[in-house]
């Protein structure tokens, strides 16, 4: 029988051999590789701190997956063998000295990732070891909060114990996203799990109680409910009839049903619903079936009860809309009354100041004025106007305390001369009745009060224009053509001297300034031009103007350019020549094809193209022979 070798906790598994083959210092390197494969936090990191980093397996993975120019720092109590592009510190992460050493290495940098794979020395007491590991994780979080950049990542190892939930709650206060996972490289029998905290919030102020183990891992006593609290002490009274209710038959009104807060409870208590409002009973939603259902509620089923509830909803919507319309109409009536009172008050003030006659407002500038000719439509109306309406004058003569009614039937408003007493109301009503009878027998002159947008209408036939239609048309035409039309000045073409002068102005500021200064001289304008003949003024212009400071070579150069431009044919001529040339070429190719088919050749005589048969060609060649005799 072979000898059995004892392997402690199956430590030499496949990841142990893989670490030996790939050159990693510990099998935990594959834990970080698997975590990074899932969360992708090493590829974008520029600075990283590994706490409890010995023997350096996680540092090897970080230097492999992070960019080349990244800053990587490892901290542990045990010295770490040198790794390329890695700074190793031998410090205790729970001391202030470690924080100062990290600040010295980082200077003004903030790290993107903080790793923690630390664990205490495991002893016989598992509870003590779990608390020590939670305390170590809390210290690592405190160190990470000092150096992590906003949005950074914190990866730590946690043992599953009673302190796991408090730690998870603390992580959630500092990071946006907290996830717990167990990589495949971690043994199943191990109590370790890894927590990945992403999106560091970077608060401005942190309470120290978060990092105090006594406060963070404080046990909260949950008081369990006693059995006596679960069992009621007193038996409830049996449900029966309502106290003080002497009648078992209850009748309610339809209005009460509509106003009820809980219609279901209302129907459970009611036996009959009476219609106290005829409007509700005559509503289109109140059908015969609804009326029959309201007579006996207790015998109704679920369908009928739902019918009553729907009927209630329709009536409530109808009443709400009606109340809204009534409120709107009331507001309009109030506005009209206020406007009428305001007009009456203004009228009294004008009468008191003797600005208007009683019952007549001079300030009324509308087209419905008494003296407006636009309101007269017919000749009979003009005759009636010339007779005059003496009722107003009679009212003014009889006394100021009187009321005048106009014969205008289009408006129902009353013209108030002064305030009336209550005793005069009967007399006013009688006068209105008499005038209503007169309307049927007498023709009236209508003074139409129109809206502002209809004021500009055609005048009546009584208004005669002073000029005829043709004269008016001619006057409007002459006014139209007398308007000054805007003309856009066309750009003038400059000559060679102007182009040369413009070139000097554009290329030299000094020359431009000298030209402007030289244009002002005493011979530029003459005060006595009107006293001399025109031929003398024209002759003097040749000698008054100073010569333009332009060389002859520049002028000749621009003239040559103009000649070159003018020598070019215009587009129309060039196109005609091209068409003619194309036609000649096409004819030549056609004749060439014909000649080849007959065995002849093409002869071009001047501008004409024609073909000859072979015999004619031979004869022509014989005639064209020339002999040279030496």
d(CA 458, CA 97): 102
β-partners of residue 74 are 50, 88
Annotate 87-117 with DSSP letters as a single string: EEEE--TTSHHHHHHHHHHHTT--EEEEEE-
**Annotated binding-site residue numbers:** 56, 58, 76, 92, 117
d(CA 45, CA 68): 11
Single out the catalytic residue among 3, 6, 150, 157.
157
For residue 513, what are its two tokens? 């300034």
**Cis before 479? omega within 30:** no
The answer to whether 10 and 187 are in contact (CB under 8 A) is: yes
- Cβ-proximal residues to 180 (8 Å cutoff; 6+ apart), any chain: 158, 168, 193, 194, 195, 196
Distances (CA, A) of 560 to 250, 555, 564: 120, 9, 6
State the CB neighbour count (10 A cutoff) for residue 29.
24
Q: Phi first, then psi: what are they for 262, rounded to 5°?
A: -120, 95
Nearest in space to 424 (alpha carbons), one of 402, 406, 407: 402
The answer to whether 143 and 51 are in contact (CB under 8 A) is: yes
Q: Phi first, then psi: what are they for 74, rounded to 5°?
A: -120, 135
d(CA 189, CA 13): 13
Handedness of CA 270, 276, 280, 282 (dihedral sign): positive
Placement of tokens 């009636």 in the chain:
384
Tell me if residue 132 falls in helix, strand or coil. Answer: helix
Report helix, strand and coil shares of the chain as percent, to nearest 5: 50, 10, 40
For residue 16, what are its two tokens? 């142990």
Tell me if residue 178 falls in helix, strand or coil. Answer: strand
The answer to whether 175 and 197 are in contact (CB under 8 A) is: yes
Q: State the number of CA atoms in the 13 A half-sphere of 285 facing the CB.
A: 15
Nearest in space to 279 (alpha carbons), one of 243, 251, 319: 319
The answer to whether 349 and 418 are in contact (CB under 8 A) is: no
Tell me if residue 393 falls in helix, strand or coil. Answer: helix
d(CA 302, CA 304): 6
346 is catalytic: no
For residue 29, what are its two tokens? 């390197």
Residue 356, burial from CB neighbour count under 10 angstroms (0-12, 13-18, 19+)? middle
Taking the alpha carbons at both ends of the chain, their separation in whole angstroms is: 135
The answer to whether 186 and 150 are in contact (CB under 8 A) is: no
d(CA 120, CA 454): 98
**Annotated binding-site residue numbers for S-adenosyl-L-methionine:** 56, 58, 76, 92, 117
Helix (H) / strand (E) element for 394: namely helix 391-398
**Number of continuous H segments (helices) and E segments (strands) in the chain:** 23, 11
The answer to whether 460 and 373 are in contact (CB under 8 A) is: yes
The catalytic site residues sit at 157
């Amino acid at each position: 029988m072979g000898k059995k070798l004892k392997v402690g906790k199956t430590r030499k598994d496949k990841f142990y051999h893989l670490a030996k083959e790939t050159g990693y210092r510990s099998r935990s390197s594959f834990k970080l590789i698997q975590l990074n494969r899932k969360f992708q936090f090493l590829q974008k990191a520029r600075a990283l701190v590994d706490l409890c980093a010995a023997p350096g397996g996680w540092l090897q993975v970080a230097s492999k997956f992070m960019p080349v120019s990244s800053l990587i720092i490892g901290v542990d109590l045990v010295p770490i063998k040198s790794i390329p592009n890695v700074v190793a510190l031998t410090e205790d992460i729970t001391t202030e000295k470690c924080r100062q050493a990290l600040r010295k290495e980082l200077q003004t940098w903030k790290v993107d990732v903080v790793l923690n794979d630390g664990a205490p020395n495991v002893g016989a007491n598992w509870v003590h070891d779990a608390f020590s590991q939670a305390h170590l994780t809390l210290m690592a979080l405190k160190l990470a909060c000092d150096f992590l950049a906003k949005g950074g990542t914190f990866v730590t190892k946690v043992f599953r114990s009673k302190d796991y939930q408090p730690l998870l709650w603390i992580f959630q206060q500092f990071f946006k996203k907290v996830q717990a996972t167990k990589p495949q490289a971690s043994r199943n029998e191990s109590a370790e799990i890894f927590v990945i905290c992403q999106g560091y919030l970077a608060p401005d102020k942190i309470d120290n109680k978060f990092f105090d183990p006594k406060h963070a891992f404080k046990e909260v006593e949950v008081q369990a409910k006693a059995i006596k609290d679960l069992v009621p002490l007193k038996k409830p009274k049996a449900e029966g009839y309502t106290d003080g209710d002497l009648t078992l038959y209850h009748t309610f009104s339809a209005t009460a049903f509509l106003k009820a807060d809980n219609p279901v409870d209302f129907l459970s208590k009611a036996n009959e619903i009476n219609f106290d409002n005829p409007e509700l009973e005559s509503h289109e939603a109140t059908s015969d079936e609804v009326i029959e259902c309201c007579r006996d509620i207790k015998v109704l089923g679920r369908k009928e009860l739902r019918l009553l509830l729907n009927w209630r909803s329709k009536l409530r919507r109808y009443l709400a809309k009606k109340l809204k319309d009534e409120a709107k109409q009331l507001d309009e009536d109030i506005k009209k009354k206020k406007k009428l009172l305001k007009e009456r008050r203004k009228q009294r003030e004008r009468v008191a100041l003797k600005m208007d006659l009683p019952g007549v407002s001079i300030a009324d500038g509308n087209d419905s004025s008494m003296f407006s000719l636009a309101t007269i439509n017919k000749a009979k109306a003009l005759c009636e106007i010339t007779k005059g309406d003496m009722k107003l004058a009679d009212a003014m003569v009889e006394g100021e305390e009187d009321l005048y009614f106009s014969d205008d039937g289009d408006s129902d408003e009353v013209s108030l001369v002064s305030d009336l007493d209550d005793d005069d109301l009967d007399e006013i009503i009688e006068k209105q009745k008499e005038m209503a009878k007169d309307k049927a027998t007498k023709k009236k002159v209508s003074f139409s009060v129109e809206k502002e947008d209809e004021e500009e209408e055609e005048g009546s036939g009584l208004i005669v224009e002073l000029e005829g239609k043709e004269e008016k048309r001619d006057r409007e035409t002459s006014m139209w053509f007398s308007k000054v039309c805007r003309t856009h000045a066309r750009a003038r073409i400059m000559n060679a001297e102007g182009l040369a002068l413009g070139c000097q102005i554009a290329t030299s500021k000094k020359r431009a300034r000298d030209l402007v200064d030289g244009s002002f001289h005493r011979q530029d304008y003459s005060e006595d031009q009107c006293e001399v003949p025109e031929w003398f003024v024209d002759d003097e212009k040749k000698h008054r103007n100073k010569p333009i400071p332009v060389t002859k070579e520049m002028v000749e150069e621009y003239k040559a350019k103009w000649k070159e431009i003018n020598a070019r044919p215009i587009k129309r001529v060039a196109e005609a020549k091209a068409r003619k040339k194309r036609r000649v070429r096409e004819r030549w190719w056609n004749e060439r094809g014909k000649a080849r088919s007959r065995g002849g050749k093409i002869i071009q005589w001047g501008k004409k193209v024609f073909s000859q048969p072979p015999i004619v060609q031979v004869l022509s060649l014989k005639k064209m022979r020339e002999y040279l005799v030496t």
